[in-house]
Amino acid sequence: MAAPEVHHLFHNPIADHSFSADRKTLAIARDTTVELYRKVGDTFKLVDELKGHDKTVTSVDIAPTSGRIVSCSQDRNALVWEPSPQGYKPTLVLLRINRAATFVRWSPSETKFAVGSGDRLIAVCYFEEENDWWVSKHLKKPIRSTITTVAWHPNSVLLAAGSTDAHARVFSSFIKGVDARPDPSVWGERLPFNTVCGEYLNNSAGWIHAVAFSPSGDALAYAAHDSSITVVYPSGPDQPPKAVISINTQLLPFMSLIWNGEAEIIAAGYDCEAFRFKGGINGWQLSGTLEAKGRPGLSDGREDSALNMFRQMDLRGKVKDDTQLKTVHQNTITMLRPYESSGDSVRKFSSSGIDGRLVIWNT
Amino acid sequence: MSIIQQHSAASLSDAWRTINIDALQEDSSINFDTSTLHPPLPETSESEVRQINAQVRQLLRGGDTEGALRGCLEMPVYNGSDAAKEAHLQTVIEVLQSIKASEMTPMLQRIYGTPGGSECLDVLMKYLYKGMANTASSGGSAPRTPTRVTPQQTGFSQVGGRPGGSSESTGAAMSVLLSWHEKVVEVGGLGSIGRVMTDWRKV
């Protein structure tokens, strides 16, 4: 396995990151701005700062085809940044929420995006031609707490959301005039706006940190604060799911997860490294870490001279320098994104975290 | 006092910050019962707890400590009266105290390896924390249901009369719980501590 590509961008947390389709442009949510980096040779160079929010930017997403960037922030706003020859032009979105916006993602069709918020609702936003404005419709029931994460189904109608009320839910976000009628699927046939197609709760019920549909859209995975991931295989509308598989791990909670084909999930979080899960409808299990242990270049295996040892003892009062984690990331990983895919499987994925690093991994 | 001064005095006071705006909103989280978010748990009555406890004690007398431990961890009292919960805690602690230190890790590994074993370890972790909370916080004043873990005289109350034997036995009980805690973390990982904190099913 080739070594991961590590980019230490700055010494601040990265709330979210997103690559453009050509993977040359990288958007990073840092404090109250969205920073745009351009790949120059092997490194990323800061080329632009999108300033428009006045509180912490919580999430950012680049639409692959149109190149539009959407960002949302604790200032309760979302902005759509339209690329133009003079740079990016922001447009305010009418979210109508009175709590922080926490998470934003473009739908695969790029005609809509969903904004999760602390106002116990999801704003599904679309462009209204006659008013020349991004407007929103609210998914409200039965959400009882802050939405922490959302994920789109490949059909751009179904939307999965995780919340601090410990439920992962699947909603229909069908908007007349914007969406084509979706094909019937395991999640349901008739899907008017705000249909709840599924509602899932773990046994020990921790906050949901991440949700994701499998590439086919027929299974849903979510990660919760009880250090578990759960995979749900629905069987049809108004029927109990075919299988709900929950894996409680010995690890710390996961913050983000992605599917790699239908039989593999990659999850990462407070353990600062990514883990691989393998399985299917008959069961899932943790199959190991993606971190190559004992990689050369880590100071771990280095022999210390006696002089060095005594110097360390004198300087720091201890022999071993234990301020460095053995993982590539030096703090919690908060976001995983597919970077390079072939068909349904992910060949490379990127991770970002509180340590200000962006890492591109080979699966 | 000028108008300006009055005005600034009013706006500078930060009383408005303490207004609980959530209470004013009809559908806010404080206006609904959070327990309705979860399916209700089956209630365990005191007589059922006594029955489980009797079975567990019998296993214990028969020398089947692992069976006894499994028995009480598979039937945790999540929804029951305080007395029922307390009685079950007492049984768990009794079982824990009767297991030798050298047997702890292999036994936990065997339990973890079986289906549902991870859940059992999480339950054990809950009882360990509950046991520690009881030993640490219960003052001598309140007449509590006596557990094998003798309530400790906390803080300054110890200045008066030396509690002597009581504090020693508390220390012993605590050291049993702490050594179990260490072993459970070894087998069940940090995840099991996290699950004790997130879980809404309290023992």
Model confidence pLDDT, tens digit, residues A48-85: 999 999 999 999 999 999 999 999 999 999 999 999 99
Which band of pLDDT confidence, cut at 50, 70 and 90, is reported for residue A23? very high
- Pairwise CA distance, residues A120 & A98, whole Å: 10
Chain B residues with a Cβ under 8 Å from any Cβ in chain A: 27, 29, 32, 34, 37-39, 118-119, 122, 188-192, 194-195, 198-201
- Lowest mean per-residue pLDDT among A59-68, A156-165, A279-288, B34-43: B34-43
What would the two tokens of residue A272 be? 């600062």
**If you average pLDDT over residues B176-193, what whole number do you get?**
94
How many CB atoms are located within 10 Å of the residue B129 CB?
16
Question: Residue B155: which residues within 8 A CB-CB, separation 6 or more?
Answer: none
- Pairwise CA distance, residues B102 & A38, whole Å: 59
**If you average pLDDT over residues A292-315, what whole number do you get?**
64
Least CB-CB distance to B199: which of A144, A201, A205?
A205
Least CB-CB distance to A165: which of B37, B122, B191?
B37
pLDDT at residue B148 is higher than 60: no
How confident is the model at residue A39, as a pLDDT? 95
- Pairwise CA distance, residues A276 & A47, whole Å: 34
Query: What Rg value do the Cα atoms of chain A yield, rounded?
Result: 21
Please, which residues bridge with residue A280 across strands? A283
**If you average pLDDT over residues A120-143, what whole number do you get?**
93
**If you average pLDDT over residues B163-176, what whole number do you get?**
72
- Lowest mean per-residue pLDDT among A196-200, B8-12, B47-51, B114-118: B8-12
Phi and psi at residue A267, to the nearest 5°: -130, 145
Which amino acid type is present at position A31? D
Asked if the Cβ–Cβ distance from A227 to B200 is below 8 Å, we say no
Question: Residue A310: which residues within 8 A CB-CB, separation 6 or more?
Answer: none
Which band of pLDDT confidence, cut at 50, 70 and 90, is reported for residue B7? low
**If you average pLDDT over residues A172-193, what whole number do you get?**
92
pLDDT at residue B169 is higher than 80: no
pLDDT at residue B165 is higher than 70: no
Asked if the Cβ–Cβ distance from A226 to B198 is below 8 Å, we say yes
Q: Decide if A253 touches B, using CB distance below 8 A.
A: yes
Which band of pLDDT confidence, cut at 50, 70 and 90, is reported for residue A95? very high
pLDDT at residue A326 is higher than 50: yes
How confident is the model at residue B132, as a pLDDT? 92
Identify the closest residue of chain B to A201 by CA–CA distance: B38
How confident is the model at residue B143, as a pLDDT? 41
**If you average pLDDT over residues A276-290, what whole number do you get?**
95
Q: Assess contact for A73 and A53: CB atoms under 8 A.
A: yes
How confident is the model at residue B30, as a pLDDT? 72
How confident is the model at residue A309, as a pLDDT? 76
- Pairwise CA distance, residues A166 & A144, whole Å: 9
Residues of A with Cβ-Cβ distance to B194 under 8 angstroms: 206, 225-227, 252-253
Name the average pLDDT for chain B. Answer: 80
Q: What angle do CA A92, A97, A100 make, to 5 degrees?
A: 90
How confident is the model at residue B149, as a pLDDT? 47
The conformation of residue B35, written as its DSSP 8-state character, comes to G
pLDDT at residue A290 is higher than 60: yes
**If you average pLDDT over residues A107-127, what whole number do you get?**
96
What would the two tokens of residue B7 be? 């005005």
CA atoms within 13 A on the CB side of A214: 20
How confident is the model at residue B12, as a pLDDT? 65
Q: Is B70 helix (H, G, I), strand (E, B) or coil?
A: helix
Question: Residue A164: which residues within 8 A CB-CB, separation 6 or more?
Answer: A145, A146, A148, A207, A208
Helix axes B117-137 and B101-113, enclosed angle (nearest 10): 140
pTM for the full predicted model: 0.85
Q: Decide if A283 touches B, using CB distance below 8 A.
A: no
Q: Which of B198, B202, B203 to mutate to test the interface with A (most CBs of A within 10 A)?
A: B198
Query: What Rg value do the Cα atoms of chain B yield, rounded?
Result: 23
- Lowest mean per-residue pLDDT among A295-304, B22-31, B52-61, B164-173: A295-304
Least CB-CB distance to B194: which of A120, A203, A253?
A253
Please list the helix, strand and coil fractions of chain A in percent, rounded to the nearest 5, in that order. 5, 50, 45
Identify the closest residue of chain A to B117 by CA–CA distance: A248
Please, which residues bridge with residue A223 across strands? A210, A229
Q: Decide if A281 touches B, using CB distance below 8 A.
A: no
**If you average pLDDT over residues B117-133, what whole number do you get?**
94
**If you average pLDDT over residues A5-25, what whole number do you get?**
95
Which band of pLDDT confidence, cut at 50, 70 and 90, is reported for residue B171? confident
- Pairwise CA distance, residues B88 & A83, whole Å: 65
Residues of A with Cβ-Cβ distance to B32 under 8 angstroms: 144
Q: Which of the two residues, B3 and B94, has the higher pLDDT score?
A: B94
What would the two tokens of residue B171 be? 């220390």
- Pairwise CA distance, residues A30 & A36, whole Å: 10
Please, which residues bridge with residue A115 across strands? A104, A123
Asked if the Cβ–Cβ distance from B194 to A201 is below 8 Å, we say no
Name the average pLDDT for chain A. Answer: 92
Which band of pLDDT confidence, cut at 50, 70 and 90, is reported for residue B155? very low
pLDDT tens digits for range A220-272: 999 999 999 999 999 988 889 999 999 999 999 999 999 999 999 999 999 99
Identify the closest residue of chain B to A120 by CA–CA distance: B28
pLDDT at residue B49 is higher than 60: yes
What would the two tokens of residue A356 be? 């200000």
Interface of A with B in 221-240 (CB under 8 A): 224-228
Least CB-CB distance to A248: which of B37, B191, B201?
B191
Q: Which of B78, B195, B202 to mutate to test the interface with A (most CBs of A within 10 A)?
A: B195
Which band of pLDDT confidence, cut at 50, 70 and 90, is reported for residue B161? very low
